[in-house]
Each structure stands twice: as C-alpha cells, then as structure tokens.
Structure 1
Amino acid sequence: MTRKVMSKITLVLAVAAFALSTQAAFAQKPGVEKLYIMNCGEGVAGDIGRWSPGVNEGKSMDFVDTCYLIKHAKGWFLWDTGIPDAIAAMPNGLVPADPKAVTWRRPKTLASQLEQIGVEPSDVKAMGVSHTHPDHIGNVEMFPQATLYVQKAEYDWPGANNEPRFKPSHPVELLNGDKDVFGDGSITVLSTPGHTPGHQSLMVRLPKTGVVVLSGDAAHFRDNYDNRRVPAINFSKEQSLASMQKIADTISKEEAQLWINHDKAQRDTQKMSPEFYD
C-alpha cells in the first residue's frame, strides 16, 4: 500500500471519527434551552401552623406562588399556572374564608409576563400542574390547546360538588407514575402523591444550570421539607413522607437543586422573568 493511499485512508478515518463525535455531541445536547420563573401570585398566610402542625402556631408568613415556563427544542412547556389573572383586578386580593389561609394578590398577570418575552398562550403546546388546588390551576384554560399532563388519580379526584377539576374538552394525558415528557430525559414528571392524591413534581435538566426539581407543594417552605413536616390538610401523611424522600433521593442522585414553589425566601434569591436560567 502506497503512502498516498494510506494518507487518504487516514484522512477518511479522521473525517468519520469527527462526524461521529459531532453526532454524539448533538445527541447529548439537552432538549431544554431556557427556564423562566414567573410571578404567579403573592400573599400572606394568616397562620403557618396550618402547614406545620405543632410548629409556628399563630405565626404569619409571606407566601409566593410560582409558575415555570420552559423552552424545549420541541416547544414551550408550562408548569403550574398560579392563581387566576383576574385577581389582579381585586384591590384587596382574594381573601379566604379561613383567616389562617393565604390572602392572595396578583401583582403581575401571567398573560403580561408571557407577552414581555414574546410568547403567545397559543405557543404553549404542553403543560403540567403539580396538583389541582386553585392556586396552581387558576389559568389552565388560558391554554386550551395545550396537552395537560396530570396524574390519573388527581384527574379523577372529585372537585367541589363532585364537579370535574378541568374542562372535559381540555386535551389531557393521564399519567400513572413518572413520565419523560419529550423522551430525552430533559423534562420528567415525578409522581409525588400525598399533598393530594395525584400530586406531582418536575425534574428539569438544564444545559448550564444543571438539574432542578420543582417540588410543587410536596413541601410549602424549606423548613418543612428539612424537618419532614406534613400539613394536617394533606391527603395522606404516609404518601407525603414517601414523596419527600423520593425527592431527596432524586436530588442526591442527580446532584440537583430543589426549588420550592411557595418559598418566598428562596424565590427572592432567584432570577425572575424576563431573565432566565439556561
């Protein structure tokens, strides 16, 4: 074999190796590009002993309500929708019947925050909610075309007066456990029942930030999570404790950050939309 032929073979092999390495790099590229944290409500809890029995009795606390908009290569994905945008027009906010509960206000609407980053509600093709309490599903029907990912146990759970929790016409994918939404490991719904029958959390794999777990109401603030406190209002104490442990195991395995929906102290340290995490 001549030197010239060997040189050609070497060149061909080098090009092939480069092509394979490039393909591998693209294959490993996460599908998630950006994550925006949206202000979906601010409020004051009258008595946080409601969420931590035997602790903090009679103590008031500021709460926040958070939504997360995720840009994936296959489209926009929204996690939780907060309290209804209509509450923005209420001067005194939404005052609960129970003085121990949260009085919610809406300083910014979800619609205005989407508009600020150039996203139309119709651009959102898929969405999920951690659970079906009103402060998490308040704007679901702003996205009637988006496929809703929800646990079957939550979807079947009767609402007030045995009414359905979502409009029957809303496209939905009912889940029975964890779900890799786009099949690439970048957005994974984690079944974490306990707060409600079909409560779920979300694991998001960001290219630079790394893995974050959006825990919904598996815990309402960090102190409750750290001390494994379960609100008396939860559907199941045993499931709640098991779900907190599942989240802890996931965080340990993935070296992930834990983002707690209602925790104002944590949210005050985070970048809010129009800034984003990538």
Structure 2
Amino acid sequence: MRMISATFAMVFAFALSFGGAHAQSVKSGVERLYILSCGEGVAGDISLWSPGINEGKSMDFVDSCYLIKHKQGWFLWDTGLSDSVAALPNGLPPANPKFIYWRRAKMLAAQLAELNVSPSDIKKMAVSHTHPDHIGNVELFPQAMLYVQKAEYEWPNPDGTPRFKPEHPVTKVEGDLDVFGDGSIVLLATPGHTPGHQVLLVKLPKTGNIVLSGDLAHFLSNWENRGVPTFNTSKEQTNSSMQRVADIMKKENATLWINHDKVQRDGQRLSPEFYE
C-alpha cells in the first residue's frame, strides 16, 4: 500500500507540475498586441534577399512595429523608420537602387497618440537589430529601458560611431531573456543577419503564440527557402538561427509574423485594432 501511495503521489505531483506550467502559459501576462505601420517601401531587386531567385524583380515591403500591453506595463518591439521620413515629399531613396525605397505615411508618435499612449508610458522596449528601418525612433523613448543583444550594441556603424546614444538606458542581453519573468515575452538570440540579431516570442492568451521575426526572414518564400541575404554578416549563423526558430515554433506551436512581408501584413489587423 505504501508503494502504491508513493507512486500515486508522484503521479499526482507530476500532474500538478504539468498543469501548473500549462496554466502559466494560458494565463499570459500579455493583454493585447497592436501592429503599427512604421514604413512602406519597394525593393528594387529581391534577389539580394534570396540569392539566385527572382533576379531583377521588385517587391513591395512594409515595416512594422509592435506595441504590447503587458500587465506590468507597455513594451515596444522595433521602432521602424524615423518619423522624419514622413516629412520627405519623395521618401527616402536608397543609395543602391536594388535596395528598398522607403516612405512613411504614418508617424509612430501619432499612432501611439491615437491609442492614448504617450512615449513616457513605455518603460521597456527592444529592437531586433540596428538597421535604420528598425531603430529610427529609439530616441522618442529616452527613458525606456532598451533591451538589445550585447554583440549588437557593441557593433559600430560603418563609420565607427556607436549605434545608440550612450546615455540611453540599456540592458545588454547575452542570449535569451524572459523580459517580464513570466514566459510571455521572450527575446531569442538569432545572430546572422547582424551580429546580435534577435526575435521575439510573444504568448497571447487568445491568439496563441507568435514569433516576431525582425529580419530573420524578410518575406514568406525567403523563410521557406531559407534564403540568406547577400548582406547578412554570417550565412552560417543565419541558417542556424532559422533552424533554431523553426524548432522553437514547433515546440511552442507558434506562428511566424514576418516584419517586412506585405502580403502577410495586409491580412492582419492594424492599430487601433489589436490581438489578444
């Protein structure tokens, strides 16, 4: 009888442990997620993103930012093109016509105001990486704690200057990080596009689990074919990071939201609508 009781107790404890973990994932600290329009553009030659495929073909791109309401406060993922681009009548043409000709119709500050959110309300933020279409408005939030991979933070601009203002509060992440400590918003290190690229796993209570791609992939076929852009800092790291995220998505039953994929985003709800 003692043996049976002990076995039953072990099974019961395991069930409680499993149930507790499951309940934690269901009772996410995330309340809602807004997709913000942070730029629109046209790539001159998408074979730069998928070498050997569609050479000379152009493609429409979008640039998304994501505002997340967590029980502990507001969190912003990526900041898009600088709001100053909205004032340029001809947009922001690239130095190389094969790259993206960017325009900005909606300012990030205006979209936040529409939600009655002021920049000072955002206490935590993170960027996938430090290309200009992702960090353009970091300094709209000078008091927000910036979470960025240490390798990315220490990677200088081509002219040797730092990519962020030294006075901006920063947490230099090394590897993965559970931002709020409840598993609902997790930074995942995915180097390759840049030395310290990262993606974001978000667990929404109703929509389910999603991975915000940053520039791990730029459009769906880029992801499906494991296309590595010619300008990535490491093809080997990119391939490893893509496989890592694919494995995590399978484990977490997560969907990939690709930042620059216009076709995917055209089917999504944009702010002021939201996902729960």
The TM-score, its normalising length taken from structure 2, stands at: 0.91
Matched residue, 1:17: none
Tell me the C-alpha RMSD between the 2 structures: 1.4
Matched residue, 1:239: 237
State the AA in 2 paired with 1:250: I
Write the distance in 2 (CA, Å) between the matches of 1:221 and 1:198.
Answer: 20
Matched residue, 1:214: 212
Matched residue, 1:256: 254
**Aligned match for 1:93, one of 91, 102, 115:** 91
Matched residue, 2:182: 184
Confirm or deny that 1:166 pairs with 2:155. Answer: no
Of all paired residues, the percent bearing the same amino acid is 68
State the AA in 2 paired with 1:232: T
Any idea what SS the aligned residue of 1:161 has? coil
Greater Rg, structure 1 or structure 2?
1
Any idea what SS the aligned residue of 2:159 has? helix
Matched residue, 2:107: 109
Write the distance in 2 (CA, Å) between the matches of 1:42 and 1:126.
Answer: 25
Write the distance in 1 (CA, Å) between the matches of 2:273 and 2:26.
Answer: 25
Write the distance in 2 (CA, Å) between the matches of 1:245 and 1:100.
Answer: 28
Matched residue, 2:134: 136
Aligned 8 A contact 2:216 2:242 in 1: yes
1:27 shift after superposition = 9.6
Write the distance in 1 (CA, Å) between the matches of 2:225 and 2:46.
Answer: 15
Any idea what SS the aligned residue of 1:104 has? strand
1:30 shift after superposition = 1.2
Confirm or deny that 1:56 pairs with 2:54. Answer: yes
Any idea what SS the aligned residue of 1:218 has? coil
State the AA in 1 paired with 2:250: S
State the AA in 1 paired with 2:64: T
The TM-score, its normalising length taken from structure 1, stands at: 0.90
Aligned 8 A contact 2:25 2:203 in 1: no
State the AA in 1 paired with 2:179: V
Any idea what SS the aligned residue of 2:129 has? coil
Structure 1 unaligned residues grouped into runs of 5+: 1-20
1:224-251: CA deviation from partner (whole Å, max 9, x where unpaired): 1001110110000000001101110111
Write the distance in 2 (CA, Å) between the matches of 1:27 and 1:34.
Answer: 15
Count, aligned residues: 256
1:160 shift after superposition = 2.9
State the AA in 2 paired with 1:182: F
Write the distance in 2 (CA, Å) between the matches of 1:265 and 1:164.
Answer: 34
Aligned 8 A contact 2:30 2:203 in 1: yes
Change (3 A) 1:214 1:262: same
1:187-226: CA deviation from partner (whole Å, max 9, x where unpaired): 0000000000000000000010010000110011110100
1:176-195: CA deviation from partner (whole Å, max 9, x where unpaired): 10000000000000000000
Any idea what SS the aligned residue of 1:76 has? strand
Any idea what SS the aligned residue of 1:229 has? coil
Matched residue, 1:120: 118
